[in-house]
């Protein structure tokens, strides 16, 4: 890999730039979560409606990823990323100025252009290094990125209590301007072999969709991320309505999951090359399931407290951090010449599934049902993710056996 220098456009992007790109996406997803109940009251809307700021946003990013990946394969990572961040900044201004839930949600949907950061950070890594090293590098990128969502909900809760929910989006706007400047100064184009035409990239989708390996890796990310997105969709209701927490307290408790995700990504960065992607994905799925089961056991045992709900979610974060870097590296390595398209298509399927699970969790939760519908959705998604990983491991073992027999 070519040596990188920070803020030098003559070398590939520095890892700090990739961390900031991914961190902005994470901040935009979770900083305002503690303020959701207050936003619903301010706009005089139901929780299910304001929750569209999460599930609707996820659905919008899923669709957009289908376009961003091919665009970057055709025109390059740099122009597509800069355009996405620029449109995101304008959309954030709409959210700040919104006086009705309809206008706010329009701004929120326009913010989906920021998904270019997540899609292209993975493609950029794959442009720079081979698959096993990509899993390790993605792990380090997301480990650094998790510092932002650890601070985000805490800061968002405090800002909401002090200045109102709009302050969250002002902070996001300021951070977005900083990231835009750094990307402009540091990001050298890494797509050295652009495709011949934009249409050609869409024609590549059948090649990806016909690959069993692509589906195995993508379903692993879909269900692993789905556990986390279901948690994001349901946790504000659980914390504020069922457990009576303030926005500031709710923001603090979100740190359990974010810190777990950072730990998991550190483990990925440290061990992915040594252990292998298949075993990393499987270990992550089992750890994620354990966190959900422990929470259910504590509540069934009568320990219905904020700590009993949020503390085991540390394991959900660890599991996601262990499994997702390897699964994402697998997605963009099935067809390396289609890394951008694979990242976009895989991301679209992953985020689309997450949007469904987030909306489902938000819709099922009521005061009468308590926490249990959320835990059922999370546990079911964990089991499905483990099954997808086992299919990848089985297919890889069969390929290795067949090659061994041919060589023998």
What's the 3-state SS for 111-172? HHHHHHHHHHHHHHHHHHCCHHHHHHHHHHHHHHHCHHHHHHHHHHHHHHHHHCCHHHHHHH
21 Cβ partners below 8 Å, 6+ apart?
81, 117, 118, 120, 121, 179, 183
What's the average model confidence in pLDDT over 88-107? 94
Q: What pLDDT does residue 403 have?
A: 57
Average pLDDT, the chain: 83
Q: What pLDDT does residue 3 have?
A: 66
Break the chain into its structural domains and give their ranges: 15-191+201-399
pLDDT digits (tens, 9 = 90+) for 180-220: 999 899 888 777 776 666 666 666 678 777 778 888 899 99
What's the average model confidence in pLDDT over 33-49? 85
Question: pLDDT band at residue 252, thresholds of 50, 70 and 90?
Answer: confident
pLDDT digits (tens, 9 = 90+) for 149-176: 667 888 888 898 889 899 999 999 999 9
Please state, in angstroms and rounded to a whole number, the distance separating the CA atoms of residues 343 and 65: 8
Q: What pLDDT does residue 404 have?
A: 60
Contact 47, 54 (CB under 8 A): no
Domain spanning 15-191+201-399: CATH 3.30.470.10:
no
> How many residues belong to the chain?
408
Q: What are phi and psi of 407, to 5 degrees?
A: -75, -30
Please state, in angstroms and rounded to a whole number, the distance separating the CA atoms of residues 395 and 330: 13
What's the average model confidence in pLDDT over 358-366? 81
Give the range among 131-135, 302-306, 322-326, 351-355 with minimum mean pLDDT: 131-135
């Amino acid at each position: 890999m070519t040596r990188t220098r920070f803020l030098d456009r003559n070398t590939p992007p520095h890892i700090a730039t990739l961390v900031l790109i991914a961190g902005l996406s994470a901040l935009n997803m979770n900083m305002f979560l503690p303020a959701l109940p207050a936003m619903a009251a301010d706009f005089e809307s139901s929780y299910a409606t304001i929750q569209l700021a999460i599930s609707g946003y996820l659905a919008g990013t899923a669709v957009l990823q289908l376009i961003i990946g091919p665009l970057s394969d055709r025109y390059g990572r740099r122009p597509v990323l800069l355009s996405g961040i620029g449109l995101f900044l304008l959309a954030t201004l709409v959210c700040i100025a919104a006086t009705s839930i309809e206008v706010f949600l329009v701004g929120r949907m326009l913010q989906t252009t920021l998904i270019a950061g997540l899609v292209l950070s993975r493609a950029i890594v794959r442009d720079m290094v081979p698959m096993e090293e990509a899993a390790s590098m993605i792990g380090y990128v997301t480990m650094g990125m998790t510092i932002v969502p650890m601070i985000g909900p805490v800061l968002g809760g405090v800002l909401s209590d002090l200045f109102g929910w709009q302050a969250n989006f002002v902070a996001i706007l300021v951070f977005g301007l900083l990231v835009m400047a750094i990307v402009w100064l540091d990001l050298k184009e890494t797509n050295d072999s652009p495709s011949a035409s934009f249409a050609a990239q869409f024609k590549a989708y059948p090649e990806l969709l016909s690959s069993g390996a692509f589906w195995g890796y993508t379903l692993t990310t879909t269900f692993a991320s789905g556990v986390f997105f279901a948690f994001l969709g349901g946790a504000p209701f659980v914390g504020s309505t069922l457990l009576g927490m303030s926005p500031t307290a709710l923001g603090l408790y979100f740190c359990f999951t974010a810190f777990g995700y950072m730990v998991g990504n550190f483990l990925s960065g440290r061990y992915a090359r040594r252990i292998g992607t298949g075993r990393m994905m499987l270990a992550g799925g089992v750890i994620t399931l354990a966190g959900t089961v422990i929470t259910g056991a504590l509540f069934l045992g009568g320990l219905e407290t904020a700590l009993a709900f949020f503390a085991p979610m540390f394991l959900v974060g660890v599991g996601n951090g262990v499994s997702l870097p390897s699964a994402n590296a697998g997605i963009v390595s099935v067809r390396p010449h289609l890394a951008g398209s694979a990242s976009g298509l895989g991301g679209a399927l992953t985020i689309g599934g997450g949007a469904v699970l987030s909306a489902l969790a938000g819709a099922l939760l009521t005061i009468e049902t308590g926490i249990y519908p959320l835990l059922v959705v999370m546990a079911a998604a964990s089991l499905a993710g483990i099954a997808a990983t086992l299919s990848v491991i089985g297919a890889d073992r069969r390929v290795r056996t067949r090659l061994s027999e041919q060589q023998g």
